[in-house]
Amino acid sequence: MGLEYLKQTYSVNSAMFGQDHSKTKQTKSAIELLQADFFLRQGIEQKCLGGNRVGPECRWVIFSRGIVNDDIITLKQKIQESILNKIVEATDNHGWTNEWGFLGNWGVKGYIQQDYLKEKLDKIDKMSNNNVELAQMLCFESMNLGIMKSEKKPYEVVESFTRENSELVKKISVEHPEFFVDGSIVEACVRAMSHDQAFESHIFKHVKYMGMEERRKQRNAM
């Protein structure tokens, strides 16, 4: 997940300062230490309309930010290893749902269900059990980090999450829009609820990202 954060930082730095700035170059070097061939790889050529290129990928930086308080930081530390890191990997390896008989659901869905989270939080700290919804929000962020980390970019995972948890996604857009991670995730959520114009209006009202207007014009023209 550290590599994905570096890619986000590179995207922000290159957008703000340019690719020749020392901060951008420093971040690029850090990425290459973790993935030596990243900036040499050739991806599918795609237009970064309104966004910027990070290696072979296109990124649309989220500019909206919520308030990160001690509750979020503490809870994230408690569930990072046992839940959040596993969601990042499950996003790429198992998708939204992957039931293995008595072994349970190894997909992302298995990790974000309230009963599962309540049980996990109770084992970690009984006081944390009151933060199930906040834990689900952090799971949403980890899922999106997993999507952006994956070469496959499995947007269908967040689309499935959105269809099953549309009210929670709306709440995240207000309280922690940065949890969407990238503009392409925002668009995937809206795409999942294409039948609901009010949902689209709500999300685009609260989550702002690089190239937002250009990309919306392109979609409307299609």
State pLDDT tens for residues 28-64. Answer: 888 888 888 888 876 555 578 888 888 888 899 999 9
DSSP letter for each residue of 136-153: HHHHHHHHHHHHHHSSS-
Distance in angstroms (rounded) separating the CA atoms of residues 109 and 98: 8
**pTM (two decimals):** 0.86
pLDDT score recorded for residue 42: 63
pLDDT for residue 91 is more than 80: yes
Question: Which of the four pLDDT bands, split at 50, 70 and 90, describes residue 129?
Answer: low
One domain for residues 162 and 52: no
pLDDT for residue 94 is more than 80: yes
Question: Which of the four pLDDT bands, split at 50, 70 and 90, describes residue 105?
Answer: low
Closest CA to 173 of 213, 211, 205: 205
One domain for residues 33 and 122: no
Distance in angstroms (rounded) separating the CA atoms of residues 92 and 45: 22
In a domain, 65, yes or no: no
Closest CA to 108 of 86, 129, 127: 86
Distance in angstroms (rounded) separating the CA atoms of residues 93 and 68: 30
Closest CA to 140 of 127, 115, 159, 118: 159
Across 180-189, average pLDDT = 97
Number of domains in the chain: 2
In a domain, 154, yes or no: yes
In a domain, 118, yes or no: yes
Closest CA to 186 of 151, 221, 219, 150: 219
One domain for residues 139 and 216: yes
Provide the residue range defining the domain that includes 52.
2-59
Other beta carbons less than 10 A from residue 77's beta carbon: 10
In a domain, 126, yes or no: yes
One domain for residues 79 and 99: yes
One domain for residues 161 and 181: yes
One domain for residues 6 and 84: no
pLDDT score recorded for residue 50: 84
In a domain, 214, yes or no: yes
pLDDT for residue 209 is more than 90: yes
CB environment 111-136: b (16+ within 10 A), e (fewer): bbeeebbeebbeebeeebbebbebbb
One domain for residues 80 and 185: yes
One domain for residues 190 and 169: yes
One domain for residues 103 and 127: yes
In a domain, 217, yes or no: yes
Q: Give, for 57, the enclosing helix (H) or strand (E).
A: strand 57-59
pLDDT score recorded for residue 12: 80
CA 172 from chain center: how many Å? Answer: 12
Q: What is the mean pLDDT of the chain?
A: 88
One domain for residues 89 and 144: yes
Closest CA to 176 of 201, 144, 141, 202: 141
